[in-house]
Amino acid sequence: MREATQRAPVVSETTKPSEFGETSGIRSRAPESKPAQGILTRDDFVVLAEPERNRGALAIQQQAADIATRVGLLLPENQERFDAFNSLVEYVYPHASVERGVACSLWCNWLFFFDDAHDEDPGACDDTVRVREQMEHHLGLLLGVVIVPTPNPLERLTLEFRAHALRLAGRAWLSRFCDLVDSYLFHGVLPAVENWRANRAPPLAEYVEQREHDSAVMTAIDLIEIAHGISIPDDVRNSPEMVRARRACARTIACFNDIVSYPKEVIRHHNPNNLVHVLANERGISIHEALFQATDIVNDAARDLLRIEQEVTSRLPDGPHPVRTYLSAMRTWQRGNIDSSLEGERYASRWSPLVELLRPDSPR
């Protein structure tokens, strides 16, 4: 194992998109049958915050599960996977009240039910016209411009989240949030579906851009305002520094998720939309080396987020401030995502590159 990356955050310049290299679109080569197993540990990753847990986690998880059951989405066949995902808010929004934590859970669980329909069922990607229509329909529901007399289960969850968001954050916040959902769906999920359908490994620079959207982390960042009961003005949120901070946050989280989900996405489902696979394919390197390079990308983005936060907060007045809370919560999300991924069973696999997730007796 290579020398572990220091866990104390270190300020450095992040890898820039131009450094990812340029190449034309190429088809994916077959994934290696025996990938590098257990070559990484938690200590290989930069973490940006102390571990925290939401004290109301049990109540949040129960209420979120009750809603998923009531709308008809939580079923015996997806109960185990849902339970593993439903604990996320405990880690990434540790300061949310139960009411606000449930609202955040509703969106996170919507992503679970919508996204996993494509992740777990490759056949769902065959009809991209139908996928696009589904995306447009649910975005319309979220915006309130589509009315369904008798909503199906996923439509009911969409409407549940809309009601919670309007009550807790207001119409202007929801409108802005829907812009991010639009980008998630049409600049992230749809290209990912098309790549999977064509068995196409996108060029690295293209993939990293796509991943910032299809990870849905940008939407999760906006939920910070609901979780903390704060409001970030549009001119502040759209400032160049804040845009860079959001992108760095999305990149470090999304790319880490590609590492832990490599066994599921590439080995089990043969999905080319994975940073480790893209790196190996584009650079002609082993999965072993691709995992190390992916880890470097994760850590560079984490350090960049810390550096930007320090630059921004150095100009703020002393004491509590919404922008300080917002940036600190991004670091908490980054740490919580690592902890929830490594402490749960969602990513456990006999093929895991992470020691913490390696299960030799697992069939997956």
Strand partners, 291: none
The whole-angstrom separation of Cα 39 and Cα 140 is 45
Of 114, 329, 313, 74, residue with least CA distance to 220: 329
Q: What is the mean pLDDT of residues 261-277?
A: 93
pLDDT at position 125 is 61
The continuous run of DSSP H or E covering 329 comes out as helix 322-343
Residue in the block written with tokens 């996405």: 265
- State yes or no: pLDDT of 25 exceeds 50: no
Tokens in use for 195? Answer: 């790549």
Mean model confidence pLDDT for the chain: 89
In this prediction, what percent of the chain has a pLDDT beyond 70? Answer: 87
Q: Are 348 and 357 in contact (CB under 8 A)?
A: yes
pLDDT at position 129 is 86
Tokens in use for 149? Answer: 């007399």
The whole-angstrom separation of Cα 74 and Cα 70 is 8
- State yes or no: pLDDT of 118 exceeds 60: no
Tell me: the pLDDT tens digits for 177-225?
999 999 999 999 999 999 998 999 999 999 999 999 999 999 999 999 9
pLDDT at position 130 is 87
Name, in order, each residue with C-beta under 8 angstroms of 319's C-beta and a sequence gap of 6 or more. none
The whole-angstrom separation of Cα 49 and Cα 162 is 31
- State yes or no: pLDDT of 33 exceeds 50: no
Rounded to two decimals, the pTM is 0.89
User: Around Cβ 296, how many Cβ atoms within 10 Å?
Assistant: 14
CATH hierarchy code of domain 17-357: 1.10.600.10
Tokens in use for 12? Answer: 């450095």
Read off the pLDDT band of 123 (50, 70, 90): low
The whole-angstrom separation of Cα 213 and Cα 278 is 17
Read off the pLDDT band of 360 (50, 70, 90): confident
Name, in order, each residue with C-beta under 8 angstroms of 348's C-beta and a sequence gap of 6 or more. 357, 358, 359, 362, 364
The whole-angstrom separation of Cα 271 and Cα 202 is 11
Residue ranges of domains in the chain: 17-357
